[in-house]
Chains A and B, each alone.
Chain A
């Protein structure tokens, strides 16, 4: 089983603050994805990173894939209450398996 550990597990911040969520593994992934999930709904894909060292930006969100393709980070600038949710990283390993391995999740609360 490929383990993806996320930190922190819980994060509560004030509106306007910056934050970073980490996703770490001892395994190499061919690609890594970040999802956001709101209560009562399924996860929604935010981004896919494929190349080691890759950086992708989505408005106030910046995603980075580690050089060794074992870790990733999500940085949110000037957090908004609408950013509140459960953030999940997930990766496809290099065996060609059909399933995504999901991280343990980071629950973010942005207080107005």
Chain B
């Protein structure tokens, strides 16, 4: 049974940093493109970043480029998102999701972790 469990969210002041984790079971994160997607309160979905199966390819949305870094620990079968220079507009639920290889669609999602950026 595939499970993705995010953690690390919380309340942080503007300009602060936070590191999100996504622990996977039932799948091997190094075999797939893995993604972070966020959803601001009451809003739609916004793709944030992905990392390729080889870790050689990482991409970011323009809104987070230069501030966020995606990474993976194969030994821990986990995905991470290091978030620096946080802004109020980064407030959202952050989901990790697997791209299962079927037409760049996201077939498994975690339940999300809430990040609130506020003074």
A-B complex is real: no
